[in-house]
Structure formats: C-alpha cells, structure tokens
Amino acid sequence: MLEKNKDYILDVISQGYEGEGIAKLEGFPIFIQGALKGEKIKAKIIKVNKNYAYGKLLEVLETAPNRKEPVCSIYKKCGGCQLQHLSYEGQLEFKRERVEDCLRKIGRLDLDTIKVHDTLGMNEPYRYRNKVQLPIGEKDGNVIIGFYAPRSHDIIDMELCHIQDPVADKVVALTRAWMKRHNVKAYDENNSKDKVKGDKSSIRHIMIRRGFKTGEVMVVIVTSGEYLPYKEEFINITLQQIEGVTSIIQNVNSKNTNVILGEKCITLWGKDTISDYIGEFKFNISPLSFFQVNPIQTEVLYNKALEYAALKGDETVFDAYCGTGTISLFLSRKAKKVYGVEIVPEAIENANINARENHIDNAEFIVGESEKVIPELIDKGVRAEVVVVDPPRKGCGRELLEAIGNMAPERVVYVSCDPSTLARDLGILEELGYKTMEVQPVDMFPQTGHVESIVLLQKKSS
C-alpha cells in the first residue's frame, strides 16, 4: 500500500496531460511534476487519493535524453510554464501524443484512418506572448506581481518572464515601484472589504498588450473601485519609460470573482484600442477583446484553417465563436459570404471595425450565442457549405453540433484549444455524419502544456 510522506524509487512511464510524469507502483498511478518519461526518479508521496497519488520529485537518478535546464530562475515555483525542463523537440512530440491520446480515449476515434500531423512549432519558442495579465498582491509589506503558483492563488513575484514580450517586464517594474513609492494598496482577495464592497484604492491586476507588427502598447490597470490614486503620475511614468504606448486604460472590477477584467473601462490616456496585423489584415484590439496571444503562430493556424476550408469563391461560411473576426477575415478572401457569431458585444464591435478598415464587405457579424444564432440562421434559410468553429476551452454546445449535422455542410473546420473537449466533439460529429480527416496540432504556447489543434472533417457519403 502506498504511504504518504514516504520516499519511493520509481520508473516514469508516460506524461500526463499537463506534462507531469506518470509512474506506477503495483498498477497504482502516481503523478510527479517535473519528471519525464523514461527517467528513474526518487519521489516523496505527498497526496494519496482513491485511484491515484501525487509525488514530489526529489532526485533524478537516470535522466531522459530530452531533459534540459530551465531558463527561468523561478520556474519550479511559478505556474506560468510547465515544460521548460523538456527540450523543445520533446515538447512538440508530447503535444502531438496528447492530442492522439485524447482522440483515441475520449473521442473513440480510429487513428489508423486519421492523419495526425507533427506539431507545428516555432523557430524561437520564447518571448512570444503579445498579452499578459498579472495579479498584484502584498507580502511582508512588499508589492508582489507575478503568476500564481500551481493550483493556488499564491503570487510568485517576478522581475522578468521568458515567454512574454520584454515590454511587459518594464511595465511590471514601474508599476511595482509606483505602488511602493506611494503606498498604493494591492487588492486582497481574502479581505471581505476588498472582496464585497470594492476598496476604492486597491490594485487587482496589471495587463499589457503589444502589437508585434505595429509596436503599439496598451497598459491596463485593474482596480477594485473607480478611484485611482496618483493617477497622473502613473500615466506620466508609463509614457516616459515605455516606448510605443498608445493606450492607458483603467478597468474597474469591483466584484468578488476570479474573472480578471470588469465590464467598465476608462481611457486614461490615448486611444481605446491598439492595432496589430495577422497576415495582411489589420485588427483593432480593445481591453476586453479576445485576440490570440501568439501572433506568429496565429498566422500559421489561420492559414491552415483557410487550407482546410478549401474555398473556391462561391461558398457561404459560418464562423462560430468568431471573436474579433480574425478567422472570418481570412476566410472572406476566398468565400462568397461569411457570417461570424460571437457572444461578446465588444468583440463584435471590433469585428465590424476590422472588416471596414480592411475593406471587407462580405463578412457579417452577429452578437449572440453560437448555439442559438446559427440554428436561427439555418431556420431562416441561410445555408453554409463550410462551417468553422473556434470555441472556448469547454468546446461546442451540443445544440450547435446537431444544427451543423442537420444542415450537412460539405466541410467542418474545428479549431480547438483543448484536446479533451475537441475529442468529445469530434466523436459527436462522427455520429452526426462526419469523418475526421486530418488533425494538425499547432504550438501556440511553447514551454506550457497547452496545445492548439485544427481539424478537417468532411461529410460522409450517403
């Protein structure tokens, strides 16, 4: 019987979905963060559940050939990355294997009939994020800014991050210094006054967005109330120290919630949005808009979506969960008409602006739930030859999948940020008359366990 707080010598036989090593003792699985497949390790058991256990890596006795030294000094504490100890080639292989495993186990798909390609990676898998949002707190009287530790809300203070744009490091440093200089209070989620009433002067998060091709920078300071102390100085030092700033925004979030941004944005200086390009298209991005955080790989992903859509110029396309219209605009180059649907009104506003600025007149954007809007379009007689879905992590609603099945477009292109819900939805689409043809994993988030995938499905012949 496995004993808590006891040390064991273990052979790591596989990797879990978050990159953790998996060992087995008498058939009982043990998850060990930081261990790699093929290694012999010494681990301390820290938690035992009914069907599995967690261990803490104490020593690597036999090292896997794809192990590497992490570049980050706080990697083992911070929850931002999970795979820096694995070579980049190993990361790409792990992500393809994860997708395959989900398709097989969750979707019950026959991989002998599906082409799962090697993961498309980056030439330089660091400093790729164009957006970062960091919680702010206090510890021992000091302001701390950083990512949360794994499975906790303990902030790991940091000075630099190897996966975010360097401009974010500078904004973090000036924000920390400004708060310390004026004793500006950080938000305390454990304090009932902050949580329920919204203390007027506490700072919850700092968010930085940068247009990689335009160089435009947006700084968003998230507060628990509308009053922002020493506001003018924050604006001035940001403009003095950060090159390319075109937008400084205060976002007010007074709710007791884990959601980072509130609904109210106050433009303190400059424009309400910044712009960036993906391929030939220019996009306007507001604080509340969804926009892919890795612009280099986003272009790779969207070009693959366009390839899978195989448009000839006379098709109508539905783009479900369209966000700010990024995929819609890519599709509009080859389609007769594109309907984009998104539940966030601000994103649709941005999508319409993006269409106008890019001189696109064959894309129409609709606010609402894709699960409701698209069936309504079908009921009105609007039919699509191709459907593209790019849902959030929870995947597509069953109503949308059934509506797609009933309409029976020739092709469905599924863009996914979660292999588990992707596999579930592919299984449903297979039941509704579609065949999964190709799966292309794309590494949008190097050094982490996340993987994006794009899938081509075709209608089965009668």
Whether 7-67 shares its CATH topology with 131-278 is answered yes
Query: What are the residue ranges spanned by the domains of the chain?
Result: 7-67, 93-123+294-459, 131-278
Does 196 have pLDDT greater than 50?
no
- pLDDT score at 347: 85
- Taking all residues of the chain, what is their mean pLDDT, rounded to a whole number? 93
Per the residue annotation, which of 161, 322, 396, 417 is the catalytic one?
417
What's the 3-state SS for the chain?
A: CCCCCCEEEEEEEEECCCCCEEEEECCEEEEEECCCCCCEEEEEEEEECCCCEEEEEEEEEECCCCECCCCCCCCCCCCCCCCCCECHHHHHHHHHHHHHHHHHHCCCCCHHHCEECCCECCCCCCCCECEEEEEEEEECCEEEECCECCCCCCECCCCCCCCECHHHHHHHHHHHHHHHHHCCCECCCCCHHHHHHCCCCCEEEEEEEECCCCCCEEEEEEECCCCCCCHHHHHHHHHHHCCCEEEEEEEECCCCCCCCCCCEEEEEEECCCEEEEECCEEEEECCCCCCCCCHHHHHHHHHHHHHHHCCCCCCEEEEECCCCCHHHHHHHCCCCEEEEEECCHHHHHHHHHHHHHCCCCCEEEEECCHHHHHHHHHHCCCCCCEEEECCCCCCCCHHHHHHHHHHCCCEEEEEECCHHHHHHHHHHHHHCCEEEEEEEEECCCCCCCCCEEEEEEEECCC
**Looking at residues 181-204, what average pLDDT do you find?**
74
- pLDDT score at 18: 87
Query: Quick one: how far is CA 305 from the chain centroid?
Result: 18
- pLDDT score at 258: 85
Q: Determine which of 19-23, 113-117, 185-189, 207-211 has the lowest per-residue pLDDT on average.
A: 185-189
Identify which of 300, 293, 311, 316 has the alpha carbon closest to the alpha carbon of residue 385: 316
Does 301 have pLDDT greater than 70?
yes
417 tagged catalytic: yes
Q: Which residue has the tokens 């007074």?
A: 254
| Percentage above 70 pLDDT, the chain | 98
Whether the CB-CB separation of 99 and 116 falls below 8 Å is answered with yes
Identify which of 39, 74, 31 has the alpha carbon closest to the alpha carbon of residue 59: 39
d(Cα 130, Cα 132) in Å, to the nearest integer? 7
Does 199 have pLDDT greater than 60?
no
Does 461 have pLDDT greater than 90?
no
The CA distances from residue 148 to 134, 145, 352, in Å, are 9, 9, 36
pLDDT tens-place string over residues 380-417: 999 999 999 999 999 999 999 999 998 999 999 999 99
Q: Are strands 115-116 and 53-62 parallel, antiparallel or unpaired?
A: unpaired
Residue type for position 357: E
Residue 451 CB neighbour total at 10 angstroms: 25
Q: Determine which of 95-104, 221-230, 282-291, 447-456 has the lowest per-residue pLDDT on average.
A: 282-291
pLDDT tens-place string over residues 29-85: 999 999 999 999 999 999 999 899 999 999 999 999 999 999 999 999 998 999 999
Q: Any idea which fold 7-67 has?
A: OB fold (Dihydrolipoamide Acetyltransferase, E2P) (2.40.50)
Does 254 have pLDDT greater than 60?
yes
Q: Any idea which fold 131-278 has?
A: OB fold (Dihydrolipoamide Acetyltransferase, E2P) (2.40.50)
pLDDT tens-place string over residues 310-366: 999 999 999 999 988 999 999 999 999 999 999 988 889 889 999 999 999 999 999
Whether the CB-CB separation of 130 and 290 falls below 8 Å is answered with no
The better pLDDT of the pair 196, 42 is held by 42
Whether the CB-CB separation of 133 and 205 falls below 8 Å is answered with yes
Q: Any idea which fold 93-123+294-459 has?
A: Rossmann fold (3.40.50)
**Roughly how many angstroms between the first and final C-alpha of the chain, as a whole number?**
55
Identify which of 311, 450, 281 has the alpha carbon closest to the alpha carbon of residue 388: 311
Tokens (6 digits) for 421: 């819900």
pLDDT tens-place string over residues 131-180: 999 999 999 989 999 999 988 889 999 999 999 999 999 999 999 999 99
- Angle of helix 419-431 relative to helix 88-105, nearest 10 degrees? 40
pLDDT range class, residue 1, cuts 50, 70, 90: confident
In terms of C-beta density within 10 A (0-12 exposed, 13-18 middle, 19 or more buried), how is residue 455 classed?
buried
- pLDDT score at 318: 96
The CA distances from residue 92 to 89, 117, 120, 308, 416, in Å, are 5, 11, 8, 22, 17
Does 303 have pLDDT greater than 80?
yes
pLDDT range class, residue 194, cuts 50, 70, 90: low
Tokens (6 digits) for 300: 């790779």
Question: Angle at Cα 331 formed by Cα 327 and Cα 334, nearest 5°?
Answer: 165
Residues sharing a CB contact under 8 Å with residue 219, sequence separation 6 or more, in sequence order = 171, 206, 207, 208, 238, 242, 245, 247, 248, 249
In terms of C-beta density within 10 A (0-12 exposed, 13-18 middle, 19 or more buried), how is residue 210 classed?
buried
- pLDDT score at 198: 46
pLDDT tens-place string over residues 89-143: 999 999 999 999 999 999 999 999 999 999 999 999 999 999 999 999 999 989 9
d(Cα 147, Cα 135) in Å, to the nearest integer? 7
- pLDDT score at 26: 85
d(Cα 261, Cα 274) in Å, to the nearest integer? 17
